[in-house]
Amino acid sequence: MKQMLDRLDTSSWEQYKHSLGEAMEFANDMGISEDEITQLAQTFGSYLANNISPDIPENKALKELWEVATPEEQATLTSLMIKLAKNS
């Protein structure tokens, strides 16, 4: 988890989405399935929401949404972030 955090560039929203996309490409190259990536991303989202202080307004909004979301809504947020990352 620490290695993934070290690779995330959260200096701006665009850089954040781009670095998430790179992490997903890396996972795909390692043969990790889309379902596994989604499960890992949801676990990662929970970790970030509980342990990392948001450094940009968009991350603060994501953290607040994550904290009030049901598990199903968190899965939706995860799917949306994956879509954003793929399109960056």
Kindly give the confidence (pLDDT) of every residue in the chain, 88 residues in length, as a single tens digit, with 9 standing for 90 and above.
556 666 777 778 888 888 888 888 888 888 988 888 888 888 888 887 887 778 889 889 999 999 999 999 999 999 999 898 888 7
Q: CA-CA distance, 79 to 83, in Å (whole number)?
A: 6
Residue with the two structure tokens 């670095």: 19
Task: With beta carbons less than 8 A apart as the criterion, state whether 78 and 42 touch.
Answer: yes
> In this structure, what DSSP letter does residue 56 have?
S
The confidence score (pLDDT) of residue 2 equals: 59
The confidence score (pLDDT) of residue 73 equals: 95
Where are the domains positioned within the chain? Answer: 12-86
Enter the pTM of the model: 0.78
The confidence score (pLDDT) of residue 3 equals: 65
The confidence score (pLDDT) of residue 40 equals: 82
The answer to whether domain 12-86 has CATH 1.10.760 is yes
| CB-count burial class (<10 Å; 0-12, 13-18, 19+) for 77 | middle
